[in-house]
Structure 1
């Protein structure tokens, strides 16, 4: 059971355990004797009112004209041998299961809690990773990096969030000059698509991409134990961008109370172009209920003459993931280490807290959150 709870595919291992040992467990097992015979006269009213009365059993057998009985295994027991057979305790067998409960209820309270948690049909952190970019060409402005999972998923319904960061000894620094988006998801992995949005001396081959996979364990079959304690809320909304501004601010209602030190992951997919990071998404302000995000054209930032600079006229899918925790670090599956959450996402803090944001709600571009009960064909 611990293997299932601590493994990367807990649902499959749990199913294997239930298939081997069953789903139910009897708390009471009755041992005794089981005999049978086939009566020709089904209308006979004779029954055994007291199976412990041996003489009554013999009398009833005589009335029914039965000279032998059969055990569950088909062994013939002559009527004259019945007494010795009953008295022999070596021949006891299971005749009844009673007080049946689900198998998992025989486990400890903590194991039951962990199983219940795994079986919840909620969005969770499925897997995390850090991947180096040593094989990229630093002279290019756009980069594609294929990232493969160690274990295949059973669905393509998931989302990936993350960032680019550099490492100087033990100090990690998030890159503001290189923006990353994620897409082209399949059962075995995805692509990180990167774009230089500012002139920079940063060598991308010395950088890393952090990534977090969000989805439902019941659909993907994979569920890392590393960050199961973190509560995840996922919001998706399709919005139409306005072409007259290179920077747009949108405010959305989270539909639940936000607190300082919650972590926000956010990215967008341009529906009419590709998974390229055409729009840069940043958290601007927040309060207990609302979050304000800024959407800026990556082409406007990098090159105002880019032929696809009309990307702000397109509809985009805005994906937002909220971690309801004051935890400061995320456990990384493929590196067996921890990564600060402010490297991967945005931490809600006092500096960008705006108590009057709700008063500005009516006059701003507003996104109503869409909390999906079931994942659509594509997140």
Structure 2
């Protein structure tokens, strides 16, 4: 046993993540779980992310040393200047990042949890070694002690959203949020369609609309003129919210989401049905998993011009909240919520795989 612990203490895991809160927090939570197994852990993200942390007073200096939840934080350049408009020049930025930040990873650790998607994980494991260790969400969503959490907030959360939710009826509020990334802002037509559908639903809504660091001339990411005033007695619009607390609130009825994996894990752990509006990267795949496999909500279908018509969103809202399949969605998401708790519990599939991963990288697995 002593030899095994000595080997684990010699191992140092470097985790590399994109500079948005939705990517950093799951990595920090994974790092905390590895720390609990006696492994040294560091996390690296870009200088752009570092300056956001500095602005949010999470760290005091880019040059460090910086430690969050016992994990040293390192920063590297993404190839462009800090004041570069990444969202407005996304293709060039991604090409530059790919050239300046290649990493040779020997293991693929995917934030799935085995009990929820056994067939997909076992199929992928035939191609490359996988240790499913999720869901990497705040412990409070899993009935665990929040002291174990390693997450940070790179944005100033508007706590008034929770106060507002306290005054709403149970299972009545439509929650709308499209992630923490500064690289993606919804087109103006789509923002208008969502706004109109929410207004026409006659249901209370909470909509997170983050402010762009580089305002777009095409109106991307901006609310329709006058919408906030017109709906001030129906809904609440905030620049940011404590999402995990919002999803866990009893007044939340459904979640209109971009389908980033962090948001999807959180809504599943909270037991909230979804309306999927994926945009890019892994989001369409995540939407298919949650809608077609997990069956915990609906996906918006694009109109012929590639947009999302307001009538389609209005239909999805009605179907998810009060349609013939609404009870099935609720039943399925509660079942998966319970599976999430079982996975991260002591001896659960996620807990076992963390230990297997540590044993593997420290050479403690039998040959």
Q: Please give the range of the TM-score, normalised by the shorter of the 2 chains.
A: under 0.3
Instruction: Answer 1 or 2: which has greater helix percent.
Output: 2
Could you tell me the TM-score, scaled by structure 1's length?
Answer: 0.22
Structure number, greater radius of gyration: 1
Tell me the TM-score normalized by structure 2.
0.23
